[in-house]
Amino acid sequence: MSTGRLETFADGVFAIAATLLILDVHADARGHRLAHSLEHAWPQYAAYAVAFLTIGIIWVNHHACFNQIGRSDRRFLFFNVLFLACVAFIPFPTHLVAEHLRDGGLRAAAVAYGVTLVATALGFALVWFYAATGRRLIRPDADQRVVSGISRSYLPGAPTYGAATLVALWSPVASVVLFAVIAGFYVLESSLFGKA
Amino acid sequence: MSTGRLETFADGVFAIAATLLILDVHADARGHRLAHSLEHAWPQYAAYAVAFLTIGIIWVNHHACFNQIGRSDRRFLFFNVLFLACVAFIPFPTHLVAEHLRDGGLRAAAVAYGVTLVATALGFALVWFYAATGRRLIRPDADQRVVSGISRSYLPGAPTYGAATLVALWSPVASVVLFAVIAGFYVLESSLFGKA
Amino acid sequence: MSTGRLETFADGVFAIAATLLILDVHADARGHRLAHSLEHAWPQYAAYAVAFLTIGIIWVNHHACFNQIGRSDRRFLFFNVLFLACVAFIPFPTHLVAEHLRDGGLRAAAVAYGVTLVATALGFALVWFYAATGRRLIRPDADQRVVSGISRSYLPGAPTYGAATLVALWSPVASVVLFAVIAGFYVLESSLFGKA
Amino acid sequence: MSTGRLETFADGVFAIAATLLILDVHADARGHRLAHSLEHAWPQYAAYAVAFLTIGIIWVNHHACFNQIGRSDRRFLFFNVLFLACVAFIPFPTHLVAEHLRDGGLRAAAVAYGVTLVATALGFALVWFYAATGRRLIRPDADQRVVSGISRSYLPGAPTYGAATLVALWSPVASVVLFAVIAGFYVLESSLFGKA
């Protein structure tokens, strides 16, 4: 089984999950008060940017993995469905964080966001290590050093997000800052130092 | 006529129907009550997971069928449109079940869910048996044993969901548990024992 | 310029416009009254089915046209964008018809639906006749009889929907029945007698 | 790395962002008052048309660029994600302009729209000039005159939208008219004089 249709389906879910984020950006005000309302809505823009970027990072990584993957099987399709169910869930906790950034619900919102990201990272690891273990679905001509490099680079994902989630129990604000920093760091690191 | 564009369109509908499910997940609460509200919302998460998985299973099966199908005709396109109209309808009864899991509306919601799944299974059978009967649209090089195996595997679909729907008349809760068990069973069976 | 990416974009708009229709299907009721509410909501199901089918028919025809089209140019891309803007508008008047099927707003809703369908048919004609006139974008190996047959088959589209729209001024109900009959007739005619 | 999957993802975001615009078109009225309500809602139709057209123009240009681009790298993927985050944001300020066309919030809405379009134009320039500078990702067989022509044609984008945004501080209505004129001019210019 080739991976073409799996990539089309995955790209659809990524594109929709990212684009749906805009439905959560609101600014309700009448007349001249709109300017004030738009300024006050900055947590929504920040949440939109961080979530779009986060989904974009995951998409770029999915892309990089599938460059090494040449085949697919039924179990691999289901693992991808599980993983994509996590990705498509991201808009919900993102909205919670934006909504509760200035009230007492931020702890619960940050934990919900963190748990979703940990689940997504675990789902990604399931997809990748199923394909990479014993080169089960890897293209015959793929360079083993690249495959091993990808494997190493995914190990810190779930623990990092797990740690940032635990920080929420102590300080929700610090946790949210950490989530944004992780996303920003990843983009900078990949785009400044990434080779392919 | 090749099947490329039909698969792109179908993958789009699958991806959107699955991803739209997140729009039905809500947790409205102010401040510190958010944690309680998020715990109380578990039927929504369960509904999201079961519906995403169910649409994922249907997508995996659609994929498996189209591996055997090499051509398309106008009637086949319309049968796929009918089938996809059923798939895209699934988010609605899913939402009903989640919304009414703890009130007297569960019977009606479970029946609506079951009827939708029966219609989807019938639509799928229409698509497959139109293509497979007399190998009308089957690839010339497809193995007839694989084709017959797929035909056999789709026969129990509609009756199984029909039976689970009838159970709702007697016990809505048992019916909903059955829907989740059918989805879980299918994933386990396919991923543990499925060959391709 | 090849037509590959245009088809991907168009298939995306078709798939999303059709799938978004489900967001307009609602049944709000508490507890045991849900069954009654679900029965009362039948105009929404009918509107969903007619609109999904209508968008499906347009997609099948777009598909049939693009089987004959081999190239694209910048003007053709814009004509397709105009046409797709009409297709993506269809969910709005569809929702109006379902919402007002049993009140005095049906005339305005039916006119809105009809005008949208006339605009869509004109947009489609613009796309097709731009490509087909003088075989501007037609594949070199396309059979001229097939091309001319498609041209003939699109001539009645706009006038038929225009006539059904005018009927709304006299009887909105008759007009809505006509819209459903046109969709049903088209599906039957294509799938029973269509050759490819 | 080939650009196939990047184009699929981008086309998905374009298609969804454009199609989601319809969710902002509303006409709430009971019975016979619907006709009046539909007439009163014309700013929504105009906003839908301008925004769909604007996203369509951007898509056509993205398409034209990628005809010259043959390869992709990780940084290029992220630049595209940033750019697409701007595109997917367009429905929000579009909705604000339509909502506030007849009240004192138009200035803030027009500024929000203009800033979004400036950011989108800058994002587009980032994508294009990263690929075109030193022919970094350009196809080996691409004509340098075409590449330079595209580079020249994108230079006025951000300044034009920036100027139209500044006009909003003096006259919001003039600014909104300018946004529509820019979109209309671009379509006419491209489709009347564009060569490919």
- State whether residue B84 sits within 8 Å of chain C by CB: yes
Task: Inform me whether the pLDDT recorded for A102 exceeds 90.
Answer: no
Closest CB to A75 among B16, B52, B191: B191
Regarding an ipTM greater than 0.85, the answer is yes
Reported residue count of chain C is 196
Task: Inform me whether the pLDDT recorded for B19 exceeds 50.
Answer: yes
Task: Inform me whether the pLDDT recorded for D59 exceeds 50.
Answer: yes
Task: Quote the CA–CA distance of C128 and C147 in Å, as a whole number.
Answer: 10
What confidence score (pLDDT) does residue C102 get? 84
Q: Give me chain D's average pLDDT, please.
A: 88
Residue with the bigger pLDDT between C30 and B177: it is B177
Give D63's contacts (C-beta < 8 A, 6+ positions apart).
C1, C5, C6, C77
Chains with 3 or more CB pairs closer than 8 angstroms to A? B, D
Task: Inform me whether the pLDDT recorded for D95 exceeds 50.
Answer: yes
Give B37's contacts (C-beta < 8 A, 6+ positions apart).
B27, B28, B29
Of C85-89, C106-110, D170-174, D179-183, least confident by mean pLDDT is D179-183
DSSP label of D32: G
- b/e sequence B156-181, b meaning 16+ C-beta within 10 Å: ebbebbbebbebbeeebeebbebbee
Task: Quote the CA–CA distance of B175 and B162 in Å, as a whole number.
Answer: 11
Residue with the bigger pLDDT between D27 and D49: it is D49
Contact criterion met (CB < 8 Å) for D38 and C112: yes
Letter for the amino acid at D9? F
Contact criterion met (CB < 8 Å) for C5 and D66: yes
Asked if B58 contacts B14 with a C-beta cutoff of 8 angstroms, the reply is yes
**Chain A, nearest residue to D88 by Cα:** A19
Sign of CA dihedral C89, C92, C95, C99: negative
- State whether residue D5 sits within 8 Å of chain A by CB: yes
- State whether residue B130 sits within 8 Å of chain C by CB: no
D196 Cα distance to chain centroid = 20
Give B20's contacts (C-beta < 8 A, 6+ positions apart).
A16, A20, B91, C19, C20, C22, C23
Low-confidence ranges of chain C (pLDDT < 70): 1, 190-196
Task: Inform me whether the pLDDT recorded for D12 exceeds 80.
Answer: yes
Q: Pseudo-torsion of CA A150, A155, A159, A160, nearest 10°? A: -30
Contact criterion met (CB < 8 Å) for C60 and B81: yes
In 3D, which of B162, B191, B194, B156 has the Cα closest to residue B178? B162
- State whether residue B41 sits within 8 Å of chain A by CB: no
Asked if A122 contacts A67 with a C-beta cutoff of 8 angstroms, the reply is no
Contact criterion met (CB < 8 Å) for C112 and D191: no
Residue with the bigger pLDDT between A27 and C58: it is C58
Asked if C16 contacts D23 with a C-beta cutoff of 8 angstroms, the reply is no
Q: What is the 3-state secondary structure (H, E, C) of B6-33?
A: HHHHHHHHHHHHHHHHHHHCCCCCCHHH
Asked if B27 contacts B45 with a C-beta cutoff of 8 angstroms, the reply is no
Distance from CA of C21 to the nearest CA of D (A): 10
**Chain A, nearest residue to D116 by Cα:** A45
Contact criterion met (CB < 8 Å) for D196 and C73: yes
Closest CB to D30 among C73, C103, C107: C103
Q: Give me chain A's average pLDDT, please.
A: 88
Token code pair at residue B2: 């090749």
What confidence score (pLDDT) does residue A196 get? 43
- State whether residue C78 sits within 8 Å of chain D by CB: yes
pLDDT > 70 fraction of chain B, expressed in percent and rounded? 96
Q: How far is CA A188 from CA A61, A172, B26, B43, in A?
A: 14, 24, 33, 39
What are the two backbone dihedrals, phi and then psi, of residue C108, each rounded to the nearest 5 degrees? -60, -40
**Chain B, nearest residue to A85 by Cα:** B52
Closest CB to A16 among B15, B53, B60: B15
Task: Quote the CA–CA distance of D20 and D16 in Å, as a whole number.
Answer: 6
In 3D, which of C110, C114, C86 has the Cα closest to residue C99? C110
**Chain D, nearest residue to A10 by Cα:** D9
Closest CB to D34 among C79, C81, C100: C100
Q: Pseudo-torsion of CA B32, B36, B39, B41, nearest 10°? A: -100
Contact criterion met (CB < 8 Å) for C60 and B73: no
Per-residue pLDDT, averaged over D70-78, amounts to 89
The model's pLDDT over D114-148, given as tens digits with 9 standing for 90+, comes to: 999 999 999 999 999 999 999 999 999 999 998 99
The model's pLDDT over A149-194, given as tens digits with 9 standing for 90+, comes to: 888 888 888 899 999 999 999 999 999 999 988 888 877 776 665 5
Distance from CA of B9 to the nearest CA of C (A): 5
- State whether residue B14 sits within 8 Å of chain A by CB: yes
In 3D, which of D155, D147, D24 has the Cα closest to residue D93? D24
Contact criterion met (CB < 8 Å) for B31 and A73: no
Give B66's contacts (C-beta < 8 A, 6+ positions apart).
A5, B3, B7
What confidence score (pLDDT) does residue B193 get? 58
Residues of C in contact with B20 (CB under 8 A): 19-20, 22-23
The model's pLDDT over A30-83, given as tens digits with 9 standing for 90+, comes to: 777 888 888 888 888 988 898 898 899 899 889 889 989 999 988 899 899 999
Distance from CA of B101 to the nearest CA of C (A): 10
Contact criterion met (CB < 8 Å) for C11 and B12: yes
D25 Cα distance to chain centroid = 19
What confidence score (pLDDT) does residue B115 get? 95
C-alpha triplet C118, D16, B38: angle, nearest 5°: 125
- Residue A174 parent element (H or E): helix A172-193
C-alpha triplet C51, C72, C116: angle, nearest 5°: 25
Task: Quote the CA–CA distance of A131 and A80 in Å, as a whole number.
Answer: 11
Task: Quote the CA–CA distance of C101 and C105 in Å, as a whole number.
Answer: 8
Closest CB to B81 among C20, C48, C53: C53
Q: How far is CA B89 from CA B55, B110, B196, C21, C45, in A?
A: 11, 14, 28, 9, 9
Asked if B72 contacts B10 with a C-beta cutoff of 8 angstroms, the reply is no
Closest CB to B74 among C7, C14, C196: C196
Residue D30: helix, strand or coil by DSSP?
A: coil
Asked if D34 contacts C109 with a C-beta cutoff of 8 angstroms, the reply is yes
Give C158's contacts (C-beta < 8 A, 6+ positions apart).
C118, C121, C122, C125
SS3 percent helix, strand, coil of chain A, rounded to 5, is 80, 0, 20
Closest CB to D16 among C16, C100, C104: C16
What confidence score (pLDDT) does residue C164 get? 92
Asked if B1 contacts B73 with a C-beta cutoff of 8 angstroms, the reply is yes
Residues 170-189 of D with CB under 8 A from A: none
Q: How many domains does chain B have?
A: 1
Contact criterion met (CB < 8 Å) for C34 and B85: no
- State whether residue D56 sits within 8 Å of chain C by CB: yes
Q: Which DSSP string do the residues of A55-85 spell out, in sequence order?
A: HHHHHHHHHHHHTTB----HHHHHHHHHHHH
Q: Which DSSP string do the residues of C66-86 spell out, in sequence order?
A: HTTB----HHHHHHHHHHHHH
Of D24-33, D57-66, D104-113, D172-181, least confident by mean pLDDT is D24-33
Residue A142: helix, strand or coil by DSSP?
A: coil
Give B99's contacts (C-beta < 8 A, 6+ positions apart).
B105, B109
Task: Quote the CA–CA distance of A79 and A124 in Å, as a whole number.
Answer: 9
Contact criterion met (CB < 8 Å) for D22 and C92: yes
Of B29-38, B52-61, C105-114, D124-133, least confident by mean pLDDT is B29-38
Per-residue pLDDT, averaged over D19-34, amounts to 81
- State whether residue C88 sits within 8 Å of chain B by CB: no
Chains with 3 or more CB pairs closer than 8 angstroms to B? A, C
Contact criterion met (CB < 8 Å) for D85 and A18: yes
Q: What is the 3-state secondary structure (H, E, C) of chain B?
A: CCCHHHHHHHHHHHHHHHHHHHHHCCCCCCHHHHHHHHHHCHHHHHHHHHHHHHHHHHHHHHHHHHCCECCCCHHHHHHHHHHHHHHHHCHHHHHHHHHCCCCCCHHHHHHHHHHHHHHHHHHHHHHHHHHHHHHCCECCCCCHHHHHHHHHHHCCHHHHHHHHHHHHHHCHHHHHHHHHHHHHHHHHHHHHHCCC
- State whether residue B192 sits within 8 Å of chain C by CB: no
C143 Cα distance to chain centroid = 26
Q: How far is CA D46 from CA B22, D49, D162, D165, in A?
A: 30, 5, 22, 19
Distance from CA of B82 to the nearest CA of C (A): 7
What are the two backbone dihedrals, phi and then psi, of residue A60, each rounded to the nearest 5 degrees? -60, -40
Interface residue of C77, C96, C103, C126 to substitute, partner D, most D CBs within 10 Å: C77
Give the domain extent around D115: 4-193
Contact criterion met (CB < 8 Å) for A27 and D96: yes
